[in-house]
Amino acid sequence: MDDDIEIGQRTWKRATLPIQQDAFREGYEVGRKANYQQGFDAGYLQGFKNGFKMGLINGTQRANEDLNNEELDGLGLKSYDSPHRGSCVMCPSVNEPFTKEKMAEIASKYETLEQIFLKQETMTFPEEEIALILNKFEQTSGSDI
């Protein structure tokens, strides 16, 4: 009788082990996808917002080429040598070549990636300045956007 119970327990383990392993794999995969998706969504949203702001600034700079330098300085537009690079803290200036050595030199100024992200966050273009640019554009061009 003890042999029957022991055989039954081993049979049960053999029958349920693949189910447990499949459930673990499936749960792991669902959890991994959910966490990656959240990170992607957050990064995509941040990238979209920054890209939209830089596009607005780039367009405003190109549309307001007739403004004099003092007006541009007052709006903070001179800080962007190259609109496509914008306020990227990791990008070298426009006249410097983009090499691995240059990137390593820039990255060595920061101890962690978190410091780079914090620095980048402080470099983003404030909403008030975008509104100021739009108002200035409307005043100088006399048209609505």
Using CA atoms, how far apart are residues 53 and 74, in angstroms rounded to an integer? 18
Extents of the domains making up the chain: 2-87+124-141
- Mean pLDDT, range 83-112, rounded to an integer: 64
Report pLDDT for 145. 44
On the question of pLDDT at 79 being above 50, the answer is no
In sequence order, the 6+-apart residues with CB closer than 8 A to the CB of 107 are: 90, 116
Q: What is the pTM of this model?
A: 0.32
Report pLDDT for 48. 79
Percent share of the chain, pLDDT over 70? 48
Cβ–Cβ < 8 Å for 63, 145:
no
pLDDT tens figures, 53-70 = 777 766 766 666 666 666
Mean pLDDT of the chain: 70
Cβ–Cβ < 8 Å for 93, 81:
yes
Percent share of the chain, pLDDT over 90? 2
pLDDT tens figures, 11-62 = 999 999 999 899 888 988 888 887 777 777 777 887 777 777 777 766 766 6
Cβ–Cβ < 8 Å for 60, 134:
yes
Nearest 5°: CA angle at 41, between 49 and 116?
65
Cβ–Cβ < 8 Å for 123, 89:
yes
CA distances from 34 to 7, 31, 39, 103 (A): 41, 5, 9, 32
Nearest to 92 by CA among 120, 82, 58, 119: 82
pLDDT band at 135 (very low <50, low <70, confident <90, very high): confident
Report pLDDT for 137. 66
On the question of pLDDT at 144 being above 50, the answer is no
